[in-house]
Amino acid sequence: MHKPRRMQARILTRALLFFAVFPTCAQMQESTVVQTSSPASQSTDANAPGQSGQPGQSDKAAYIAGTVLSASTGSPLRRARIVLQVSSQTDIPRGAVTDESGHFSIGNISPGEYALSAQHDGYIQQRYGQDKPGKHAETLTLAAGQKIEDMTFHLQQAAVITGHVYNEDGDPIENANVEVVRIVYVQGKRQLASQQSVTTNDRGEYRIYDLGPGHYYVRAARGGSGFFNTLTEGEVVYPAVFYPNAASFDGATPLDLKPGDEIPSVDFQLTPNNSNGYEVAGKVIGSATGKAGASPASRSVVTIGERTSYTDVLQNERQVTTNPGDGTFKFSNITPGTYRLEAIQDENGQREIAMQEVIVSSANVANLSLVMTPGVDISGRITFEGKGANAGQVGVGVTSVTDDFLGGGASAQVQPDGSFDLKNVPDGTYRLQVWSMCETCYLKSASSRGTDLMGKSFDVQSGVAPSAVEIVFSADTAEASGTVNGDDDKPAGGAIVIAVPVADTPNRDARYKTSTTDQYGHFDLKGLAPGDYDVIALSDFDEDSEEYMDPMFLQPYADKAQRLRVAANDRKSLQLNALAASADSQ
């Protein structure tokens, strides 16, 4: 899937504030069509032909070369860009550009595991090891002195969606937002993920391009800065509708795009909500005098977001700043639905938060009181087990399980003596998280005065929170490696191997593990916490959707999954057969 050109403002803001501490769980992947020779035909002769463009090639360095072609015409693609990246690392990638014959080469490559991709304007960015869209990319494993000189990328043309946005009178709307979205699962939550977003021109026209094959939905809106906006009072607002002019996702018609598709006339007619929207208004009250004789909380930011049936993430968020004199706020043109209000105030490094759920039905909602709470400190200590468990920086945090706003959490760095202190955790329901540079570590246990916190939610309410939290963070993990075969009993490159923790596993959401097979069908599942897993290998599956964390995901494969039990520091071997991904997973 092509990376979006413009991230939604809410998601970008949350990423800057939150994922600077909490590591991201998924990166966008691209589909690839590539053919390579079998391992037996790959040369390891340092003096083999094809080295003319690589002076000074070391005998122990690897070398790759190949051709990039158009999948639709078979013609060579000049100036296609090749990127070679060390797998799972952030090193600066190597690169090459194809010549007039579509040929490329990269030499003096250190042995190791790599991600390889090719891209060209107007085509879908593609990765090594796929023979059809949707199949997961392979890891490219290169040995010392190895040469692979017959790689062939067949790049597929990207799809395009075009259309118009009109108002209620049939006139074009300039600067309307049009967005292509798809359903994904992130940390087990169903979400609509933005793929691309554009604005209409003076004729109400839009064009969205560089789309890969897939199942998409399109929606349009006008008002403020788009779908997640701060509105100017009195501005004419056209709320978001899904194609074809459906007020909610339930009535949306999906578009199934194939390579090179050009889908015209995906048009919208928007209707302003000025006539049927309602006001949501109230006052934010400071925590110091939050009861009798309450005083307003000045300089607070109030956010409203809608809860919907089609995603676990709040939609159509808007923000206003409270009146500095009396702490009042007001949102206009709010359509009927269920909303979450949040007020945040940062002053002298102290954050106070107030949250409240509001139902808008057929009338204005007035005189709301959002009472700030200063939050509470949660302190504790980490004990490290195993070599490398405390390597580098280790962080501890709590993340909200009920709210999708920026204030729902806190984090802290663990001190050299293992202590940590989470400051100003607001009222809410949370789960504990621990992270570090150790990729093969896991959260073994967490408790507070005898109460188990492992993978369980806990409440912070009215200044009461878990105290003296004791955590054990362990590097004594297991590893399972092996090979995956396809229907032809040959190695299945580009299959995704998923270790699904059994249902009663503590802290289950944090213990899923995945690995992608290389060109030899080999995989390594590292960092497995001791316990029981159901392991499957899937072809044609988009790992980045994280749909495998959906509790219902394993059902179609339950009778074909291989049960794996591992203890601390185990090394197990598996032989798997690739299964076709269920149609429900596409």
Alpha-carbon gap, residue 147 to 433, rounded angstroms: 44
User: pTM here?
Assistant: 0.63
Residue 538: how many other CB atoms lie within 10 Å: 25
Q: Which of 340, 371, 402 is the last residue of a domain?
A: 371
Picking from 102, 133, 155, the residue at the C-terminal end of a domain is 155
Point out the domain boundary residue: 371, 391, 409.
371
Q: pLDDT tens digits for the chain (586 residues)?
A: 333 333 333 333 333 333 333 333 333 333 333 444 434 334 333 333 333 345 567 778 999 999 999 998 999 999 999 999 886 555 678 899 999 999 999 999 999 989 899 999 999 888 888 766 556 678 899 999 999 999 999 999 999 999 999 999 999 999 999 999 988 776 666 778 888 899 999 999 999 999 988 889 999 988 744 444 444 555 677 888 999 999 888 889 999 998 899 999 999 999 886 555 789 999 998 876 444 445 666 678 898 888 776 666 676 677 888 988 888 999 887 878 889 888 888 766 677 788 888 999 888 999 999 888 777 899 999 999 998 888 678 999 998 876 554 455 788 999 989 999 998 887 788 889 888 888 889 999 999 999 999 988 898 887 788 989 999 999 999 999 999 999 888 998 888 999 999 988 988 888 999 998 988 999 999 999 999 999 999 987 766 667 788 878 888 998 999 999 999 999 999 999 999 876 544 4
What is the rounded distance in angstroms from the CA atom of residue 451 to the CA atom of residue 152? 58
Containing domain of residue 99, as a range?
Answer: 34-45+57-155
| Together in a domain, 439 and 489 | no
Conformational region of residue 251, where left means phi above 0, alpha means psi within -120 to 50, and beta covers everything else? alpha
Q: Vertex 29, ends 214 and 436: CA angle to 5°?
A: 140
User: Is 27 among the domain residues?
Assistant: no
Residue 285 included in any domain: yes
Provide the token pair at 342.
């949040």
**Based on the domain organization, do 304 and 345 belong to the same domain?**
yes
* H or E element, residue 12: helix 9-18
In terms of domains, do 361 and 404 share one?
A: no
| Residue 466 included in any domain | yes
Residues 458 and 514 in one domain: no
Residues 148, 241 share a domain: no
Domain membership of residue 28 (yes or no) is no
Decide if 576 contacts 483 (C-beta within 8 A).
yes
Same domain, 176 and 261: yes
Tell me, yes or no, whether 346 and 381 share the same domain.
no
Helix (H) or strand (E) holding 11: helix 9-18
Tokens of 276: 């049927």
Burial (CB count <10 Å: 0-12, 13-18, 19+), residue 345: buried
At residue 105, the 3 state secondary structure works out as: strand
Residue 54: the pLDDT is 54
167 and 135, same structural domain? Answer: no
pLDDT of residue 76: 96
Domain membership of residue 16 (yes or no) is yes
Q: What is the CATH number of the domain that holds 341?
A: 2.60.40.10
Same domain membership, residue 508 and residue 564: yes
Same domain assignment for residues 343 and 365 = yes
User: What's the rounded Cα separation, in Å, for the pair 365 and 41?
Assistant: 72
Q: How far apart are the first and last CA of the chain?
A: 13
When divided into structural domains, the chain yields a total of 5
Q: Give me the pLDDT at residue 550, please.
A: 80
* pLDDT at residue 16, as a whole number: 31
- Tokens standing for residue 515: 């690995």
Torsion, Cα of 137, 142, 146, 148 (10° steps)? 10
Q: CATH code at 500?
A: 2.60.40.1120
Asked whether residue 3 is domain-assigned, the answer is no
Q: Examine the domain organization and report whether 151 and 190 are in the same domain.
A: no
The verdict on residue 314 lying in a domain is yes
What amino acid occupies position 210?
D
Rg of the chain in Å (alpha carbons): 27
**CB distance 213 to 238 below 8 Å:** no
Please check whether residues 204 and 225 belong to one and the same domain: yes
Q: How far apart are CA 232 and CA 332, in angstroms?
A: 10
Burial of 315 (0-12, 13-18, 19+ CB in 10 A): buried
Q: What is the pLDDT of residue 198?
A: 93
**Domain contains 51:** no
